[in-house]
């Protein structure tokens, strides 16, 4: 652990991670971990531990704002957390057994797939017959978990949006893997939760982002505990990170529920694709 | 009418969680900011580790920067538990069986995770 770290780099990193994290419903670890390891030379375990701790404050701040605006689906968030928490524990234990390049490549490939999934134009159009048939199947399946359905007020279109939640079991299975990835790489798990909730579970993007923030609270806390108990969290590093992440997250949450969903989706997809390319290049030592 | 009442209860619950998160966040930030300021004032080592829980009170009394940050982190790790307990109380009052079960399961999972980590 280097004796001196630049506090301004830490503060700038935290602010950017907080801003993007709460706007996109992801934790911000995809910014914090690379900067702490590449720019500040911190060992990867310290970077992951600091990232997870910062994600907790980011997620709690954003959750407070979203829940006050009634955008969070609390029941769905709590249900999915039941799968995320054991995943986060498993991920932290798995972290010790995989090498860094392997993890980096897995991370990059996963992000390419998620970016593809998030692109709005990717949605397949069905014929009217196919649409009616799939609607019937969905209605029948939906009856067993109607208690998860939600609604929220969208100030961007000045209307109350009601929605049905589909495929909660799929959401829980992928949630378990999101928990693993979160603790393994020091990210929030939002890169999996957001597309799964939005594209597969059919939750509107704004409600997805708000609910994803709630999920991050539980996942990051579980992961953080492991890193804290192993001594990978340094007070002088996490203090400026937490404060700057808080400021960025407040701003991001305010901006997110005033902006348009399609624009957010494109921004998210573009961001993921760019980060994925950088990660894969780094894994093959092309970036030096 | 019944739906309006249920919506109103949910709104009140959401406001309660939001308030708890905000109050908790302010307390955490004040503690962490105080710790950071003390780092600058005291010139303590930047590589200092978190303070063990057993010596937390004495270290706080001697204005150790790490002790302030440690208390802030402990509070921060408790925030999601507060969301869970408030939600459990709300759903129990509303007699919503499935969310109550979910809250209890999640609470047990967090507790067992902590036990596993401590082992």
Interface test with A, best of B80, B110, B112 (most A CBs within 10 A): B80
Among candidates B33, B96, B105 on the partner chain, residue whose Cβ is nearest the Cβ of A82? B105
Q: Residue A125: its pLDDT value, please?
A: 55
Cβ distance B113 to A89 less than 8 Å, yes or no, reads yes
Among candidates B11, B46, B49 on the partner chain, residue whose Cβ is nearest the Cβ of A4? B46
Work out how many CB contacts closer than 8 A connect A with B.
143
Cβ distance A1 to B47 less than 8 Å, yes or no, reads yes
Give whichever of A26-40, A161-175, B9-23, B99-113 has the largest mean pLDDT. B99-113
Q: Residue A95: its pLDDT value, please?
A: 74
Q: Residue A240: its pLDDT value, please?
A: 92
Q: Residue A27: its pLDDT value, please?
A: 60
Q: Residue A137: its pLDDT value, please?
A: 58
Show the tokens assigned to A60. Answer: 């709690």
Give me chain B's average pLDDT, please.
88
Give whichever of A114-118, A240-244, A259-263, A284-288 has the largest mean pLDDT. A240-244
Q: What is the pLDDT of residues A183-196, one digit of tens each?
A: 887 777 777 888 88
Q: Residue A140: its pLDDT value, please?
A: 60
Using an 8 Å CB-CB cutoff, list chain B residues near A61. Answer: 21, 25
Give me chain A's average pLDDT, please.
79
Q: Residue A206: its pLDDT value, please?
A: 85
Cβ distance B80 to A217 less than 8 Å, yes or no, reads yes
How many residues are there in chain A? Answer: 288
Among candidates A60, A88, A242 on the partner chain, residue whose Cβ is nearest the Cβ of B21? A60
- Helical residues (DSSP H) of chain B, grouped into ranges: 2-42, 56-61, 65-93, 97-118
Q: How many whole angstroms separate alpha carbon B24 and alpha carbon B29?
A: 9
Q: Residue B115: its pLDDT value, please?
A: 87
Q: A45: Cβ–Cβ under 8 A, 6 or more apart, which residues? A: A227, A230, A232
Residue A124 has pLDDT above 60, yes or no: no
pLDDT tier at B69 (50, 70, 90 boundaries)?
very high
Q: What is the pLDDT of residues A130-157, one digit of tens each?
A: 666 656 656 666 666 777 788 887 777 7
Q: How many whole angstroms separate alpha carbon A162 and alpha carbon A77?
A: 17
Cβ distance B32 to A225 less than 8 Å, yes or no, reads no
Q: How many whole angstroms separate alpha carbon A210 and alpha carbon A193?
A: 11
Q: What is the pLDDT of residues A201-256, one digit of tens each?
A: 888 888 898 898 899 889 888 888 888 888 888 888 999 999 998 888 778 777 76
Residue B102 has pLDDT above 90, yes or no: yes
Q: Yes or no: say if A80 and A44 are a contact pair by the CB < 8 Å rule.
A: no
Q: What is the dihedral of CA A124, A129, A130, A136, to 10 degrees?
A: 130
Q: Residue A173: its pLDDT value, please?
A: 93
Using an 8 Å CB-CB cutoff, list chain A residues near B46. Answer: 3-5, 234, 236
Q: Residue A202: its pLDDT value, please?
A: 86
Quote the strand ranges of A226-288, DSSP E. none
Q: Residue A121: its pLDDT value, please?
A: 54
Using an 8 Å CB-CB cutoff, list chain A residues near B72. Answer: 242
Q: B91: Cβ–Cβ under 8 A, 6 or more apart, which residues? A: B99, B100, B103
pLDDT tier at A160 (50, 70, 90 boundaries)?
confident
pLDDT tier at B83 (50, 70, 90 boundaries)?
very high
Task: Determine the distance in angstroms separating the CA of B113 from the nearest CA of chain A, rounded to an integer.
Answer: 7
Residue A96 has pLDDT above 70, yes or no: no
> Lowest-pLDDT range, A29-33, A84-88, A178-182, B68-72?
A29-33
Query: Which one has a higher pLDDT value, A4 or A152?
Result: A152
User: To the nearest whole percent, how much of chain A has pLDDT over 70?
Assistant: 78
Q: What is the pLDDT of residues B7-60, one digit of tens each?
A: 778 888 889 999 999 999 999 999 999 999 998 898 777 777 888 888 888 888
Among candidates A78, A217, A235 on the partner chain, residue whose Cβ is nearest the Cβ of B69? A235
Closest CA in chain A for residue B103: A78
Q: Residue A186: its pLDDT value, please?
A: 77
Using an 8 Å CB-CB cutoff, list chain B residues near A235. Answer: 35, 39, 48-50, 65-66, 69-70
Task: Determine the distance in angstroms separating the CA of B3 from the nearest CA of chain A, rounded to an integer.
Answer: 12
Among candidates A147, A222, A235 on the partner chain, residue whose Cβ is nearest the Cβ of B48? A235
Helices and strands (H and E) in chain B: how many:
4, 0
Query: What is the pTM assigned to this prediction?
Result: 0.81
Cβ distance B106 to A68 less than 8 Å, yes or no, reads no
In the block, residue with structure tokens 């390891």: A37
Q: What is the ipTM of this complex?
A: 0.88
């Amino acid at each position: 652990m280097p004796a001196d770290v630049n506090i301004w780099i830490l503060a700038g990193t935290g602010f950017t991670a907080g801003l993007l994290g709460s706007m996109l419903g992801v934790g911000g670890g995809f910014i914090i971990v690379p900067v702490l390891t590449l720019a500040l030379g911190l060992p990867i375990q310290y970077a992951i531990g600091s990232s997870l701790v910062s994600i907790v404050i980011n997620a709690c701040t954003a959750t407070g704002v979203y829940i006050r605006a009634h955008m969070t689906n609390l029941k769905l968030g709590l249900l999915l957390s039941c799968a995320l928490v054991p995943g986060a524990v498993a991920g932290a234990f798995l972290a010790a057994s995989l090498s860094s390049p392997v993890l980096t490549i897995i991370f990059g490939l996963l992000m390419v797939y998620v970016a593809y999934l998030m692109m709005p134009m990717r949605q397949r159009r069905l014929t009217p017959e196919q649409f009616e048939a799939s609607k019937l199947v969905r209605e029948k399946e939906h009856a067993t978990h109607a208690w998860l359905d939600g609604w929220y007020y969208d100030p961007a279109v000045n209307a109350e949006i009601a929605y049905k939640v589909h495929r909660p079991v799929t959401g829980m299975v992928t949630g378990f893997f999101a928990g693993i990835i979160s603790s393994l790489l020091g990210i929030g798990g939002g890169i999996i939760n957001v597309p799964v909730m939005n594209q597969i579970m059919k939750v509107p993007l704004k409600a997805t982002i708000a609910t994803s923030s709630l999920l991050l609270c539980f996942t990051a806390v579980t992961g953080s505990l492991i890193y804290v108990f192993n001594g990978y969290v340094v007070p002088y590093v996490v203090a400026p990170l937490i404060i700057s992440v808080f400021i960025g997250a407040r701003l991001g949450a305010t901006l997110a529920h005033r902006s348009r969903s399609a624009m957010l989706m494109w921004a998210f997809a573009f961001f993921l694709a760019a980060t994925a390319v950088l990660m894969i290049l780094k894994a093959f030592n092309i970036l030096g | 009418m019944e739906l309006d009442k249920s919506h109103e209860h949910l709104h009140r619950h959401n406001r309660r969680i939001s308030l708890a998160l905000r109050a908790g966040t302010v307390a955490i930030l004040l503690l962490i900011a105080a710790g950071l300021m003390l780092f600058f004032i005291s010139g303590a080592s930047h590589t200092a580790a978190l303070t063990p829980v057993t010596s937390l009170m004495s270290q706080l009394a001697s204005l150790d920067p790490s002790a302030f940050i440690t208390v802030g982190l402990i509070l921060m790790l408790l925030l999601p538990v507060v969301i869970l307990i408030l939600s459990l109380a709300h759903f129990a009052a509303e007699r919503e069986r499935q969310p109550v079960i979910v809250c209890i399961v999640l609470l047990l999972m967090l507790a067992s995770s902590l036990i596993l980590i401590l082992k």
